[in-house]
Structure 1
Amino acid sequence: MTVEALPNFTRPARQRWKTIPADIRQRLLANVWCVQCRHEVTITSFTGTIKGGSLLLEGKCAKCHGDVARVIESS
């Protein structure tokens, strides 16, 4: 997935996302906890913002379409 395909990222979130290697980005997107499914799922239709210095991805579960989120802390 290219950064250009992420129109719902804020500029700071997009810049942070670009610093993460592509293979790690794919692993992060495929390892999001869904409360409804009760296991890790892939996040879809997601947005990205910076909250409290961390990158926050919010989107939908690929299986049940419930709300999910992933926090990627800055190192």
Structure 2
Amino acid sequence: MGNDSPISFSAHKKWLSIPKEMRSKLERNVFCATCLDVVQIINYTVKEIDEQVVLHGDCKKCGDPVARVID
């Protein structure tokens, strides 16, 4: 998770308030522009942008960066 921006405790709290089963589904439902497919996000950080939770991480298939907005 080589990101030097500060951890968003607010975003983490929102993320953890989502039931674990739903979080797992969201982690496996991320679009990768390189693979042109829905993939699993790995090595992700949780951030808050404009009051939305955003996962930033890597594609499990190819390793390229991916992101997922949780709305």
Q: Report percent identity of matched pairs.
A: 35
Alignment of 1:23-34 (within 5 A): 23-34=21-32
TM-score (normalizing by structure 1): 0.83
Partner of 2:65: 67
Q: Output the CA distance in 2 between the equivalents of 1:22 and 1:51.
A: 22
Equivalent residues, number: 66
TM-score, length basis structure 2 = 0.88
The alignment status of 1:50 with 2:42, answered yes or no, reads no
> Unaligned 5+ residue runs, structure 1?
1-7
Cα RMSD over matched residues?
Answer: 1.2
Structure 1 moving runs of 4+ over 4 Å: none
Please, which of 33, 36, 39 is the counterpart of residue 35 of structure 1? Answer: 33
Structure 2 gaps of 5+ residues are 1-5
